[in-house]
Amino acid sequence: MKSSVFKSWEFMLAAVLVVELIVLGLINPAFLNIENLLFSTSDFVHVIIAAVGLTLVIMTGGMDISGVSVMGLASIVLGLAFVAGVPIGACVVLALAVGLGAGAFNGTVIAKTDVNPLVITLAMLFLYAGVASGLPTLLDMMGFAVAGAGGFEAYQYEGISGLPKSFTWIGTGAVGWVPVPLIITVVIAAGATYLMHRTRFGRFLKLIGVSAEVARFTGVPVTRTLVTVYALNGFAAAVAGLVLTAYFTSARSDLGAEALLNIITAVVLGGSSIYGGQGSVLGTFLAGLVLGFLRQGLLALGISSDVVPVIVGALLIGSVALKIGMGVLGTRRANRRAYETERAAVGGNG
């Protein structure tokens, strides 16, 4: 049992994370300060939250790249509702409902058609981004009122600030040394882990990822499961958008737009198979930390922000190559053991 743990992909990621922090700490001692280390996660936990939702989707063999647009849509919906006089609690519920609805719509279209999920969610990526940027003008055209001159359109290209501290606390507050965004991330990751490993829903995700047709013939409600998992992914993206909004204390339609590469990298680096049937929320969580601290370390070393995505992309390619290599090696070892077992059996019979 212990041997299998030490050979697991998650253990490898944890070891990489420790080595990374030690190296960065030797270069910059601030990385070895636990309090600074914890609070620095607020810069990138939105990536982990969205990646956790995507991990569940990829378990089914699907894909959803529209989450980054859902982040901005949830953010601007919250901001516009707030300036219209809606209580902040209701604004949060409305924004989360929008994310849930957007994800459910994605899942419905994917479940009801034979179109590749990547193509569908690519279209939704542009659709939700367009709705987010055009929503202020649309509300003005529909006659909705807002306090102040200029109507909703005044907020189309400028961030909506002035959000109450009761909301921004979820992005800037802390419980002791632990920042609230990190607590939210851990809770979401724990919930997703429970769904994946302790419920029938999690087993359905794996079965669909292995073969949707076989899963359907064995009684798995494929359509309902797909709609649900994409809805959960939309919800996670909305949570990420609200955490980011609270962290920057400003609601914008383009929040999170640059996070797509990091989200996909965290999922793949975390051990999930893009072919479905295999995924690890813990792996995604650890990979998100590895990527987040790596990005911060590179920027602290003075490396240009334009170069960082190149390094992240190279890391993604390297991780995929390593996973393939480990898979080939594992297959060879299994074949070798089977050969030795068969040889011993033949020898014993002789």
DSSP 55-105: HHHHHTT----THHHHHHHHHHHHHHHHHTT--HHHHHHHHHHHHHHHHHH
Domain count across the chain: 2
Q: What was the pLDDT predicted at 155?
A: 63
Q: What was the pLDDT predicted at 281?
A: 94
Phi then psi dihedrals of residue 142, to 5 deg: -85, 0
Same domain, 221 and 321: no
> If you compute the radius of gyration of the chain from its CA atoms, what whole number of angstroms results?
22
Q: Is 302 helix (H, G, I), strand (E, B) or coil?
A: coil
Same domain, 92 and 144: yes
Q: Is 275 helix (H, G, I), strand (E, B) or coil?
A: coil
Contact (CB, 8 A) for 268 and 274: yes
Q: What was the pLDDT predicted at 288?
A: 93
Same domain, 289 and 322: no
Same domain, 325 and 257: no
Residues in the chain: 350
Query: Which tokens belong to 68?
Result: 């980054």
Q: What is the DSSP letter of 280?
A: -
Tell whether 19 is covered by a domain. Answer: no
Q: What was the pLDDT predicted at 349?
A: 57
Q: What was the pLDDT predicted at 334?
A: 67
- In terms of C-beta density within 10 A (0-12 exposed, 13-18 middle, 19 or more buried), how is residue 110 classed? buried
Identity at 180, one-letter amino acid code: V
Contact (CB, 8 A) for 96 and 271: no
Query: Which of 275, 295, 315 represents a domain boundary (last residue)?
Result: 295
Same domain, 108 and 149: yes
Identity at 157, one-letter amino acid code: Y
Q: Work out the angle at residue 234's Cα, subtended by the Cα atoms of residues 317 and 184, and round it to the nearest 5 degrees.
A: 85
Contact (CB, 8 A) for 49 and 240: yes
List the domain range (segments joined by +) for residue 58.
Answer: 40-295
Query: Which tokens belong to 171?
Result: 């992005």
Same domain, 193 and 339: no
Question: CATH number for the domain including 214?
Answer: 1.10.3470
Same domain, 210 and 344: no
Same domain, 229 and 114: yes
Q: Which residues pair with 94 in a beta bridge?
A: none
Give every residue of the chain whose pLDDT is below 50, as ranges. 1-3, 148-149
Tell whether 24 is covered by a domain. Answer: no
Tell whether 10 is covered by a domain. Answer: no
Same domain, 288 and 321: no
Same domain, 174 and 44: yes
- Max alpha carbon distance in the chain (Å)? 95
Q: Compute, in degrees rounded to 10, the torsion defined by CA atoms 230, 262, 250, 41.
A: 110
Q: What was the pLDDT predicted at 149?
A: 47
Q: What is the DSSP letter of 22?
A: H
Query: Which tokens belong to 21?
Result: 């922090």
User: How far, rounded to the nearest angstrom, does the alpha carbon of residue 325 sit from its chain's CA centroid?
Assistant: 25
Same domain, 174 and 246: yes
Tell whether 160 is covered by a domain. Answer: yes
Tell whether 272 is covered by a domain. Answer: yes
Same domain, 67 and 160: yes
